[in-house]
Structure 1
Amino acid sequence: MTAPAAGAPDAAAVRSALARVLDPEIRRPITELDMIRAVDVEGATAQVDLRLTIVGCPAADRIERDVRAAVLGVPGIREIELSVGVMTPAERETLVRRLRGTKRMPFGPGTLTRVIAVTSGKGGVGKSTVTAELATALAARGLAVGLVDADVFGFSIPGILGIPDAKPTQVGDMILPPIANEVKVISIGMFVDDRTPVSWRGPLLHRTMQQFLTDVHFGDLDVLLLDLPPGTGDVAITLGQLLPNAEVIVVTTPQAAAADVAERSGLLARQTGQTVIGVVENMSGGVFGTGGGDEVARRLEVPLLARVPLTGAVPTAGDVGSPVVLGDPAEPAAAALLGLADAVVARGRGLAGRSLL
């Protein structure tokens, strides 16, 4: 191959353009992921050899489109000859090892990611909706956010976020989570039929939570949220053991009965060493009144982070998979949820609510 004329495009210029193309699932440059095997330039034609991670890659069309746009945007390049193939098993395994790193529990003690578990004493208090809206609000502030739907028996996060039919992509033994509103999401609902009841016991629940935290590649996150099942059962205990560094938000409704059981979920978190950082009173006002959140916060000696009023906007938004914090941020419930995100960000990390014994 002859050297390009002075001022003519070369392979280095094309590679530089390709470095700005991100894999939409991994969110890293395709050059950094070794997906570009070769680049040559002949006159005004660029020849690019692209290697996708797996056969049937769901992001293939977008990656190819972005590659073509990037290369044809290089001054002097008027044509691209794009060859598309798939990584070899050895290349794929190398990629998985590099992305995963060496930590067996990437979000355990010592992680730079802030881990926040959202819990409640009983079902029906809107815990999953609060979690999904909080995740969306944090992502809208520019944070890198992941969300684990740990409510195995009552999974609802995919539907609330508008991705009820989304499926993860598997690269080797690494799972790439779907993305909704810039939030990376994993749920057992992505692996089972929506109408199939999940009836698992402790060991299988433990293994599932462990796989969600180790086999799912979230990448570098600022915040990882976990939507826990209500109560103080196996999943809460497992996540307490795996993530003793987690912070916990307790969700309750205003009624005294809900407040009583909500307190227990906070106390269990403390028994595993986790930090209870505050309480959210959901469905506040109207027929339910107010006060339950204040009472739980008083008993746990933590702040009331938000009082989310009872309106029709939030459940309606959840039914159509469009978080209200994006669709109608001025609506009273949305404003309260955005205030919750502000309170979480402002609080940072601390020792409030953590047992020092």
Structure 2
Amino acid sequence: MAAYQDQVRTVLSDVVDPDTGTDLVGSGAFRGAAQTAEGAVIDLVLGYPGRSGHDGLRAQVQAALAAAGLGPATISIDQRIVAHVVKDGLTPLPEVKNIIAVASGKGGVGKSTTAVNLALALAAEGANVGVLDADIYGPSVPRMLGVSGRPHSHDNKHFQPMIGHGLQCMSIGFMVDEETPMIWRGPMVTQAMQQMLNQTAWSNLDYLVVDLPPGTGDIQLSLSQKVPVSGAIIVTTPQDIALLDARRAVAMFAKVDIPVLGVVENMSTHRCSNCGHVEPVFGEGGGARMAEEQHVPLLGQLPLALAIREQADGGRPTVVAAPDSDEAAIYRRIARGAAGRLSLRARNKTMGLPKVSIE
């Protein structure tokens, strides 16, 4: 039996999980193999939510076993999401395992649409997910998730998160009228962001996706210094100006010791609704070049599609409005890739430890 397990370990050390970019042994996913009276069994435990990728991973493993002269096996795939290390001096929130910041160097690149669809994709892949709208001046999460009303408090200290399409969410947009401008200076904005983060009664979240405002200003600096962020995702478009600002965002996270999980290129191409011609209206290959230059993964490229905008504006983003669409599949692949790469980082062993008091 041990000999079979060793054989399987050798085979799986050459099988690369596309969502982590690492082999199944090196990532710690391989947990054991055995031959029983009913046949061979292989146990895999992924550190990220990846339901829609399980069948493809099983096919990879079966093909590798066949190529090595081993027979087919029953492949059990489970997923176990843990808290990962954050910047020194910071500890995770009690009910939030990992915080993923979604940022952009400039506005108008589809960052909020990406953040909301990313959160929905993580949930669809099997995670408990929340969204924090940290764009105080331009909150858009309430409309995108189709949520209205005011958050309630059971203890006069914490707000209960609003729920949109199964996501726990909080936004300054729930506190003020949609058309009321937030005429606040920087310190008030950062204080509001921290209050929403710390005074929301988040419940058992695997991931909290934070939709940051564009740029590298007060909110981003406060987030990096005071919030236990596990990783960041940069959203850009292929045009040179957007890429220039996106590089600044990558550099900012590097300076504050927050890992960039990857780059998402939005509005990559446009398909004509009349003739079907595909054209890169904002340039071509910019996101891929930037990702290569900055030594970070290109998580995915999304088209400039009318449906994505209409669905977000209508309160039913693409992942829930058209779950079988090509665009939803891209969002889910981005979610698996980002969470998969985060799963390779060291575990935060302080998360979940019991509190000990001496009297």
CA distance in 2, matches of 1:282, 1:195: 27
Match of 2:252 among 254, 257, 268: 268
Partner of 1:190: 174
Q: Any stretches of 5+ residues in structure 1 without a counterpart?
A: 1-106, 353-357
CA distance in 2, matches of 1:313, 1:162: 16
Partner of 1:332: 326
Of 342-351 and 134-143, the range deviating more from structure 2 = 342-351
Q: Does 1:246 find its partner at 2:230? A: yes
Partner of 1:199: 183
Match of 1:109 among 91, 109, 127: 91
SS at match of 1:167: coil
Q: Any stretches of 5+ residues in structure 2 without a counterpart?
A: 1-88, 271-280, 347-359
Aligned runs of 1:15-26 on 2, under 5 Å? none
Partner of 1:222: 206
CA distance in 1, matches of 2:249, 2:299: 17
- The amino acid of 2:247's aligned partner reads E
Partner of 1:162: 146
1:213 deviates by: 1.8
Q: Confirm or deny: 8 A CA contact 2:100 2:229 kept in the other structure.
A: no
Of 290-299 and 170-179, the range deviating more from structure 2 = 290-299
Distance 1:158 1:259, change over 3 A: same
Partner of 2:307: 313
Partner of 2:57: none
Q: Confirm or deny: 8 A CA contact 1:284 1:308 kept in the other structure.
A: yes
SS at match of 2:103: strand
Q: Confirm or deny: 8 A CA contact 1:314 1:334 kept in the other structure.
A: no
SS at match of 2:159: strand
Percent identity of paired positions between Structure 1 and Structure 2: 42
Q: Confirm or deny: 8 A CA contact 2:262 2:338 kept in the other structure.
A: no
Partner deviation per Cα, 1:9-39 (whole Å, 9 max, x = no partner): xxxxxxxxxxxxxxxxxxxxxxxxxxxxxxx
1:240 deviates by: 0.7
Match of 2:114 among 122, 125, 130: 130
CA distance in 2, matches of 1:214, 1:341: 25
Q: Confirm or deny: 8 A CA contact 1:147 1:184 kept in the other structure.
A: yes
Partner deviation per Cα, 1:108-153 (whole Å, 9 max, x = no partner): 5345611100000111100000000011111122311111000111
SS at match of 2:234: strand
Partner of 1:38: none
Distance 1:304 1:147, change over 3 A: same
Q: Confirm or deny: 8 A CA contact 1:119 1:265 kept in the other structure.
A: yes
Taking CA–CA contacts closer than 8 Å with sequence separation of 6 or more, which of the two structures ends up with the larger relative contact order?
2
TM-score by length of 2: 0.65
Partner of 1:288: 282
- The amino acid of 2:302's aligned partner reads V
